[in-house]
Structure 1
């Protein structure tokens, strides 16, 4: 069965990016690529991606800065939906679909594209919250860095009830996997 998962990292005070949308605070942390809840094992079970426009633009700014668009290579060889209400720069030959549709309307398409693999809500927190709002988010997997940012993009900008399923330490990070508790009714 395919799961819809929000896999991300956060500061101790609950921000996934600082006020300038920087992740520099995360890239200075030591992580074991084979440690608990690691990215390599996670991405091997992913069949489709969803992200917001801020995440997409961050990838463009950090993966392709200074390169000719003809030389760009999208870092994922998976179908990806970018939720946006704006026209964004297109990565040539990437399996990306831009959409302004409601997440519920697109979810079945993403699950079908994923096959027996999972759907990853790459970011941000509000997009993951939109999936949760309509009962389509199954898990939150988060690595917590020992840093506070004071402000920035929140991990999840709404209330969400979770149940802890797994907890581990991956060098500098605390890693946890939660299932989303569905409301009765």
Structure 2
């Protein structure tokens, strides 16, 4: 059965990227891709992925713009209100643009994934849309020992859930990784809940 994952990394204060949309703070961390909850094992089980336009721009700038090939072999949806023609062409990439309700896109993602899973890459606003629609099956979040003070939040929208997810932690090198499975009928918590505080109402 296809499951939908939000697999990402955050700073200690709950940000995915800094105020300049940079991931330098994350890329400088010592990460074991083959350790528990590692990227290599995760991506091997993914059959389709979805990201927002800002995340897609980051991939274009930091991979394609540096002469690197498109890093994924699976179909990728980009959620955007921008004209698809405004993005650079990426040879060899199966990129599909969409807008509107994430539920319709989720149906296409699960069909494309076949017997594998769906990866919600980010950013946080897109992940929150999937969460609030009840479409996220679990979250795997690597928490880096860094504070940013501002930037793109892990979840910009507060949760409507009264029940926080149940965490499972795996030992690993920095950053620490946690995996949550949302309680039945609930949405994932906002970043403040993850830091031990109640979400704003």
Q: TM-score, normalised by structure 2?
A: 0.85
Change beyond 3 A, Cα 1:66–1:147: closer
**1:158, CA displacement in angstroms?**
2.0
Query: In structure 2, what is the equivalent of residue 107 of structure 1?
Result: 106
What secondary structure, in the 3-state scheme, does the structure 1 residue paired with 2:130 have? helix
Indicate the larger mover: 89-98 or 159-168.
159-168
Whole-Å Cα distance in 1 between the matches of residues 25 and 79 of structure 2? 26
Partner residue, 2:20: 20
Q: Deviations over 1:43-69 (max 9, x none)?
A: 0110000000000000000012254xx
- Structure 1 match to 2:185: 183
Question: Scaled by the length of structure 1, what TM-score is found?
Answer: 0.92
C-alpha displacement of 1:14: 0.1
1:20 aligned counterpart, secondary structure:
coil
**1: CA distance, partners of 2:93 / 2:22:** 24
1: CA distance, partners of 2:61 / 2:121: 16
| Matched positions, count | 180
Q: Is the 8 A contact 1:138 1:180 kept in 2?
A: yes
Counterpart residue number, 1:53: 53
**Cα–Cα, structure 1 residues 90 and 101, in superposed 2: closer, same or farther, change >3 Å?**
farther
Counterpart CA distance in 2 for 1:75 and 1:35 is 20
Counterpart Cα distance in 2 of 1:175 and 1:48 = 22
- Which deviations, in whole Å up to 9, do the C-alpha atoms of 1:39-98 show, x marking residues without a partner? 00110110000000000000000012254xxxx631101011000011222312311101
Q: Which residue of 1 aligns with 2:147?
A: 148
Deviation at 1:28, TM superposition (A): 1.2
Gap runs ≥5 in structure 2: 187-201
The structure whose RCO (Cα within 8 Å, separation 6+) is larger is 1
